[in-house]
Amino acid sequence: MEGTIYSLIPAVIMLILVLVTRKVLLSLGTGIIVGALFIHDFNIVESLKEVWLVFYGIFVVDGSPNWGNILLLVFLFLLGIMTAFLQASGGSRAFGEWMMKRVKTRAGAQIMTGILGIIIFIDDYFSSLSIGQIARPLTDRHRVSRAKLAYFIDSMAAPVTVLSPISSWGAYIIGILGGLFAANGITSMQPIEAFIMMIPHNFYAIIAVLLVFIVAIFNFNIGPMRTHEDRAVQTGELLDPKQNNVPGDLSDVFEPNKNGRVYHLIVPIIMLFVATIVAMLVTGIQATEGKASIITAFANTNVNLSLFIGGFMAVLTSAIFHFSQKQPRENVGKIFVEGLKTMLPAINILLLAWMVGSVISTLKIGAYLAEIVNNASINVSFIPIIFFAVTLLMSLATGTSWGTFGMMLPIGVEIMMHTDSQLLLPALAAILSGSVFGDHCSPISDTTILSATGAGSNHMDHVLTQLPYAIMSAIIAAIGFLVIGFTNQVVLALFVSVVLLAAAVFVQHLLIAKKTSVN
């Protein structure tokens, strides 16, 4: 069944189940078991062995520890411990009180979150986990629901990093383009030049970022987000009271230290940021034996090791501040235990998501979808929108944008160089856009999981509340790719996309106002 239409069945079952039941662990587990049964033609014993080997492979590869995954898991635990220190030290409360004096409106708190997403552009994992630590005290004070905070974080993570050449994503993509350009004899532009030229073609990422600020400024709440926001404003409940599977929430665990100061929160987060960036540069330079520019350093960096180093330094800084405070102060053992516990829901989901990704890879879902595109005989003007649709489905099913990049960018270059090289950049940008959309909406996406973790939101609340905004952005982006496919005019396509965004928001606003007046 590998590499055929039947390989889609486990992913479809899992996605339907997770949306219907909202039980993400059950749904992911079902997807893993069904996928394993498909791989081994429903041989139960071999399927159970497959499940064990997939789990084992998270931690051990070719007899050696899988340090990338291990370090990321340790970093999540470190982040939980740091969060516990920030809460126990009173730093979170002090920062919230300090910002309340300066940011006096809900819109201001939300806009600040969006601005943080632009400033922290270096890596989607880092952005997802760090923005929540900074913004949450302020958005909590202004009764912004955790679901909306998670939406802001997620929509300013991958979309911003995929638009930045100096980021882990930008460097990765530039690295892929370098090999593809050399293999296909493309000498008219350099990979970094091509990446920069693709930025205005990346319609989904641009629309997603613009929509964040529209939502923040105009309080544009649609779909399930409206329920969460109304409850937060009216009752002060930032989370659905029916959901108890929420990572990173320690508000009821510690009594904040009365001697807490703003720097007890700011300094550890700055340490996290600085130590992570320095580590990324150092590991990137080491990987290239000292011959790296900034771009190539980020292309070859060890992101997970860098996150671990940054997390360790941040926890160490938080601990020093804690011990410097006067008594009474919280027991350190309790801080560590509660910090570790806050990350368990996210880690459980992440482990199962990795297992699903491995099973789906074995089923060759991506290869099947890519083959459809490669063998299709279609009008070249439709290729950008088709690439957008196929990568959207591929990333949605697999939960990985980087894996989709790696598979579809080579196919995109090959097809466009044999059809219409003038549409090369729009086609490649469509691949990037579709991959980011799927990554946004997939319940098994790392970034989706980590954004919910950073915001302290329930995972499925985040998925369902973000979906209407992501779908709106995707429809507008699809029209943009259709326009550019027939005109090859990026300014016109971008203008049409922005006008459509404004029109869609205006129409939705009228519908919401009409519904409110009727009620």
pLDDT grade for 249, boundaries at 50, 70 and 90: low
Specify the DSSP class assigned to residue 399.
Answer: -
The model's confidence at residue 5, banded by pLDDT at 50, 70 and 90, is confident
CB 355 within 8 A of CB 30: no
- Residue 300: phi and psi, rounded to 5, are -115, 10
How far apart, in Å, are the Cα atoms of 263 and each of 116, 130, 238, 459?
18, 16, 26, 30
- Residue 22: band (very low, low, confident or very high) from pLDDT cuts 50, 70, 90: low
Q: Is residue 459 a contact partner of residue 146, using CB atoms and an 8 Å limit?
A: no
Of 214 and 173, the structure prediction assigns the larger pLDDT to 214
Predicted local confidence at residue 243, as pLDDT: 63
Lowest-confidence range among 433-447, 464-478, 487-501?
A: 433-447
Domain assignment of residue 191, given as a range? 5-517
pLDDT on residue 316? 95
Total domains present in the chain? 1
What does pTM read for this prediction?
0.77
State residue 394's pLDDT score.
81
Tens of pLDDT, residue by residue over 196-209, are: 899 999 999 999 99
The amino acid occupying position 223 is: G
SS3 readout for 457-502: CCHHHHHHHHHHHHHHHHHHHHHHHHHHHHHCCHHHHHHHHHHHHH
**Structure-block tokens of residue 7:** 């390989």
245 pLDDT tier (thresholds 50, 70, 90): low
Q: Which carries the bigger pLDDT value, residue 293 or residue 438?
A: 438
